[in-house]
Amino acid sequence: MNYPQGWEGICNYGILSLGLNVYLSNTMGLFAKKSIHELITEAAPDEKGLKRTLSATNLVALGIGAIIGAGLFVRTAAAAANNAGPSVTIGFIVAAVGCALAGLCYAEFASMIPIAGSAYTYSYATMGEFIAWIIGWDLVLEYAVGAATVGIAWSEYFNKLLGIIGVGPVPYEWSHSPFEKLTDATGAVTAHGIMNIPALFIIFMISLLLIRGTKESAFFNGLIVITKVSIVILFIVFGWQYINPVNHTPYIPAATTFTDAQGVDHNYGGIMGILGAAGVVFFAFIGFDAVSTAAQEAKNPKRDMPIGILGSLVICTILYILFAHVLTGVASVDDFRTSGKEASVAYAIKTYITGYGWLANLVTVAILAGFSSVILVMLMGQSRVFYSMSVDGLVPKVFSDLHPKYKTPYKSNLIFFVLVGIFAAFVPGDIVGDMTSIGTLFAFILVCAGVWILRIRHPEIKRQFKTPLVPIVPILGMIVCGAMIYGLGWTNWARLIVWLFIGFIIYFGYSVKNSKLKNKE
């Protein structure tokens, strides 16, 4: 047999081979669906105790607790430095609109299938196995890579805490990735990163907690929510009087290009800068979908779900805009690019908000606690998604093996500790943060499309909550989320394409053959 020569031939051959596999898999049930009855039967032992006890207020509080985290305290400064300057506030508005549109679609999915679960479970029952695989694989970018992003942010603030208590920070070489370097005022390189040990440490400790099956109490979760919101409000109130109008001039910088310390070019200023900032700060909104997963426990899903999703988004968006306005007014873009970076909030307080050093210390301690809870939720969510995929045969059985004593998917936790640990220890925070954003945005586009498709193909399915103005809302959701993906730039598009291609290889090489649904047919 004569094989094609050269890169073009190899690519064409690969595409044809993949296309053939897709076609063959399609004839064998590429879009095979799990019945809703089957899902309820499988989940019965775990779902038996769930009651509709959550009010709209409970859901709003749940959303705020899940949303406010590393994104606000870290990604705001990154978006201002690399993309939009003071107009990062407009980026927050764009991101919030995209989240609201996708959230309405997500709420319909959650109410349509009356069991607790993820977007993977919903899509398996409604759009078929292949789409479920794409969403499940894509969720790795949201949960696993997201946990790595928060772990890197945790490392930065941990160093600040060590400085506060007088111990001294972990050396730059052992608290940054090998792709990062420290420069002095003249631009000379003074240190090179080797490995981010604090980030690896917190990922390891929380993985151990998950293996033990440790769960946060409702009181602890409520305390964390109150703490995080209080810090945001305190920063806004105390920082407002220290805003320097010079830092807000011009509010929307002229369109240009900025090259960061890793040599990556960013669209800075103008419309593209705002879209890029929206894609970056979108990470700050990740977690609102936790509200939609509580549909089965809402007292009145038809009324409470949109209130919970949109209410938490509105409150967080207002806080985010005010927070970003104060932060970019107190400190300059150059501060975010040089001295502040990931710990820009604490840096801005200590440098410019005189007399409130205690607030910077409080911010550091509380942010560390908040980051830890976010990492816990993300790693737990990741293990649960892959547990479901393993039960369905789409990934190896090792991901659903339970600990004989603790009854947790401990092998899955250990595997993801290695994966997330590699990202946290060796990849810069900006890169993994953008990968998280683009992965989640892509999943939201699929959710929006799925709601529209199912309204046409399966109008008979009972929906306790219906997305309004279909297909207008889903189409707008896809457009806004797509615009944010566009704003993230070609480097992130390439990472997403490579990630999905790896997923396709795994699906057509392993999952198709081992799918329990297909093997039953």
> pLDDT value at position 8?
44
The token pair that represents 249 in the structure block: 């001039």
Is it the case that residue 23 has pLDDT exceeding 60?
Answer: no
Q: How far apart are CA 497 and CA 148, in angstroms?
A: 20
Q: State pLDDT tens for residues 85-128.
A: 899 999 999 988 888 898 888 878 777 765 545 677 777 877 78
Is it the case that residue 16 has pLDDT exceeding 50?
Answer: no
Burial of 254 (0-12, 13-18, 19+ CB in 10 A): exposed
> pLDDT value at position 27?
42
pLDDT category, 325, cuts 50, 70, 90? very high
- 516 touches 390 (CB < 8 A): no
Q: State pLDDT tens for residues 57-80.
A: 777 877 787 677 656 777 788 889
The token pair that represents 393 in the structure block: 């045969």
pLDDT category, 410, cuts 50, 70, 90? confident
> pLDDT value at position 202?
93
The token pair that represents 246 in the structure block: 């010079």
Q: State pLDDT tens for residues 348-368.
A: 888 888 787 788 787 777 778
Q: Of 25-29, 207-211, 251-255, 367-371, where does the model show the most confidence?
A: 251-255
pTM of structure: 0.73
The DSSP bridge partners found for residue 182 are: 191
Is it the case that residue 412 has pLDDT exceeding 60?
Answer: yes
- 409 touches 383 (CB < 8 A): yes
The mean pLDDT value of the chain amounts to: 79
Q: What whole-number percentage of the chain has pLDDT above 70?
A: 81
Give mean pLDDT, residues 200-212: 88
Q: How far apart are CA 165 and CA 211, in angstroms?
A: 31
Q: How far apart are CA 418 and CA 495, in angstroms?
A: 20
> pLDDT value at position 505?
92
> pLDDT value at position 197?
94
Positive or negative, the CA dihedral 100, 59, 228, 380 is: negative
Q: How far apart are CA 155 and CA 427, in angstroms?
A: 13
Q: What is the CATH number of domain 52-520?
A: 1.20.1740.10
DSSP string for 47-97? HTT----B-HHHHHHHHHHHHSSHIIIIIHHHHIIIIIGGGHHHHHHHHHH
The residue written with tokens 């709601």 in the block is 451
Is it the case that residue 511 has pLDDT exceeding 80?
Answer: yes
The number of beta carbons lying within 10 Å of the beta carbon of residue 425 is: 25
User: Residue 188: which region, alpha, beta or left (left: phi > 0; alpha: psi -120 to 50)?
Assistant: beta
CA 2 to the chain's CA centroid: 45
Total residue length of the chain: 521
Q: Which amino acid is at 197?
A: I
> pLDDT value at position 29?
62
Listed range (224-238, 361-375, 474-488) with the worst mean pLDDT: 361-375
Question: Domains of the chain: which residue ranges?
Answer: 52-520
pLDDT category, 247, cuts 50, 70, 90? very high
Listed range (82-91, 114-123, 185-194, 280-289) with the worst mean pLDDT: 114-123
